[in-house]
Structures are given as structure tokens and as C-alpha cells.
Amino acid sequence: MFKNKSYYWACQIGGWVTYALTILFFSYFLQRELNALFLERIFLGISLGVLVSHLLRKALIKINLRPPTSSNQLWKILLLILIFASLYSFLNSSFVEIFKLYDIRKEGEIKTPFVLSWDQIVQNWDGERFNKRFLFSVILDTPIFLVWMSIYVLWHYIEFANAEALKKLKLESLIKELELKTIKSQINPHFIFNALNSIRALVDEDPERARKAITELSNILRSSIQVDKVEITSLKKELAIVKDYLALEYIRFADRLKVEYEIDDAVSHFAIPPMMLQTLVENAIKHGLSKQPGDCLIKIIAKIEEGKMVIMVENSGKLEATGNDGFGLQSTRDRLNILYSGEAEFDIYQCQPNQVTAKLTIPIQH
């Protein structure tokens, strides 16, 4: 934050000083006399420029017009430019008139000290001269503020593009890490070993079920390998992989595992990040069945609440107070933050004495 402010003020002051130096250069080139009054007006212009353009930036932030903005807000930005250019011209012309910072030889007047009293200001104020200077200043200064705004907008669009590129890189890196972690730990050799053992036991007893289990295992492995190739998938496809996973787990745990689904038909085609639902279900199996005696009921709920999609995975058991999440839950939080820029929510909590709920709330994407 401090570094960004330093850059801003360096560019702000540097830009107005460059503008002043440009005026001095062309004045010298055109052989205009650079007297004390002229230099005072230049200094006044820089000071007011820094002040008014900073107020313009504050106004942009206050009314939520800070870049990047939509094209239909362009007229509001142009109106702000005109308003603040007029403010700059008014203040500049007023100070010039109050302190008599004009060329007295051309005006035919005698230079007096700075006017300090209100009566002197009123007495020496030339309304016609002020109006001419103000209108002339508005015409000249509006393009300057237009240039300032163009640079300001360009800077923020470049900053926005860099931030989006960084987000994309972080997401790609996180997805790749998720793929490796999923293959190596979550869908680890231990899980594959258990699944293959279960399939082997079925080969003689139920060959048809064994063939189906091999297909289910193949689907899960294919999904985990391809997770880095897409950023979103449909809830329907994600549920299909979850059902394959639970079917394999049912072979191992048999009657101890019970699964219920409450899926609103309206949300089945909505988009969610791949492997996210499976991560929650795997977490429910790990903590609700593997570490708890007796039966475990896993309930998967998907519905719409307040214009957002809500997915809940409930499991029997108690929430472990470890103080931190495992990789799966932490990756879920990180991916949601990157994909939805803080608009998605994830929470896991003890909703009943023997029931844990993992709740995912994300904006609806078709």
C-alpha cells in the first residue's frame, strides 16, 4: 500500500512539474520574458494542479468510477473532467486576480503587495478580466485534465491486466498443485490399493460389479489428471465423478456408508470448479467414516439461495479442532478466492452434536 502511494505521488508531482517545464521551454523558445510574475503563475499552476487532480482521483474512487470502468460510464468521467478542470481554472484565475499575478505593463496598472483584506479584494476585483481569464483557462486546461485522466486510466488498466494475469498464473499453479496432491495423496496409492483389493474380491463373486468398479476407478483417475485443463465444469459432471468415488468406497465400507442426495434440478447445469465437490466428499469420508465407529450418513445438497448456488456436504461425526485445514480444504478456499474474487464463501462447521456440514456458496455461472 505504501509503495503504491509513493508511486502515485511521484507520478503526480512529476507529471505536473513536467507540464510546467514544457511551458517554460516553449516560452523560452518563443522568446517570451520569464519575469517573476510568470514564474509565480507557473508555481501556482503546479500547486493547484496537484491539489485538484488529487481531488479528482478521490472523487473517482468515492463514486466508484476508478478504472477499469464500463463504457457506459464514460460520460460520467468526461463530466468529472470538465467539473474539475473548471474548478482548477476558477481557483487559478481567482488567485491571479486576488494577488495580481498578471502582467501590469500590459494592464497599465501599478503592482501592489498581496491583497490581504476582503475590502481590498472587492475593491480591486475586475469581474470582466476575471471572466475572460476563467473562460480562456477552461478552454486550455480541460485538455490537460483529459491527458491526466488518460494517463491515470491507462495506468490502472495496465495494473488491472497485470493483476488478472497474475491471478491466472496463480490459479494455474494451484490447479497443477491440486492435480499432483490429488494423485499423490488424496487419490493416493493407499486409496488405489484399497480399490483394487475390493475389485479383486469381486472378480469371482460378482464379475459384472468388478467391471463396473474398474470403470468407476478409471473415471476418477481420468478426472484427476484432467483437472488442470479446465477452470470450471458443470455440477452434473462433478456429481457423476463423486458417485463413482462413493460407489468404490461403498465396496470397502459396505453397509456402514449411506449416501443421500438433494439436488435441485435447476442447478445441475450450473458451473463449479472441478474436483471441488469431490474434495468435500473425500473429506467427509475421511473424517466421518474412517475415523468414526459405526455408520456414516453423507448427504449432498445443492440448491439456490438468494441468487447464489449453495452446495452442502453433511456427514456424521464431530469436527476436529485442529486449528488449521488440510490441503483439500485450504485449496478449496484459495481456489474460490482466486476464481470469484471474494464473492464466494466456504465454511465447515458442527451443525448438530453428531453432524458436520461443509457449505459452499458461489455466484451462479451457467
Q: How far is residue 345's CA from residue 223's CA, in Å, rounded to a whole number?
A: 24
| Helices 74-98 + 127-181 axis angle, to 10 | 140
Q: pTM for this structure? A: 0.49
Question: Which CATH architecture fits 187-363?
Answer: 2-Layer Sandwich (3.30)
Instruction: Name the nearest CA neighbour of 24 among 45, 10, 9.
Output: 45
Q: 271-272 and 308-316 as β-strands: parallel, antiparallel, unpaired?
A: unpaired
> Rounded to 5 degrees, what are φ and ψ at 99?
-95, 10
Q: Which residues contact 309 (CB under 8 A, 6 or more apart)?
A: 235, 267, 270, 272, 302, 303, 361, 362, 363, 364
- Give the domain ranges of the chain: 2-166, 187-363
Q: Could you list the pLDDT tens digit for every one of the 366 residues in the chain? A: 445 678 888 889 999 999 889 888 888 777 666 777 788 888 998 999 999 999 998 988 888 776 666 667 788 888 989 999 999 999 988 888 877 776 544 444 444 444 455 666 666 677 788 888 889 889 988 999 999 988 887 887 777 777 777 777 777 777 766 655 554 444 455 667 777 887 887 887 888 888 888 888 888 778 766 655 666 788 998 898 889 888 888 887 777 888 999 999 889 889 888 888 888 888 888 877 766 777 888 999 999 998 899 999 999 888 876 655 666 677 778 778 877 877 899 999 888 888 899 999 998 866
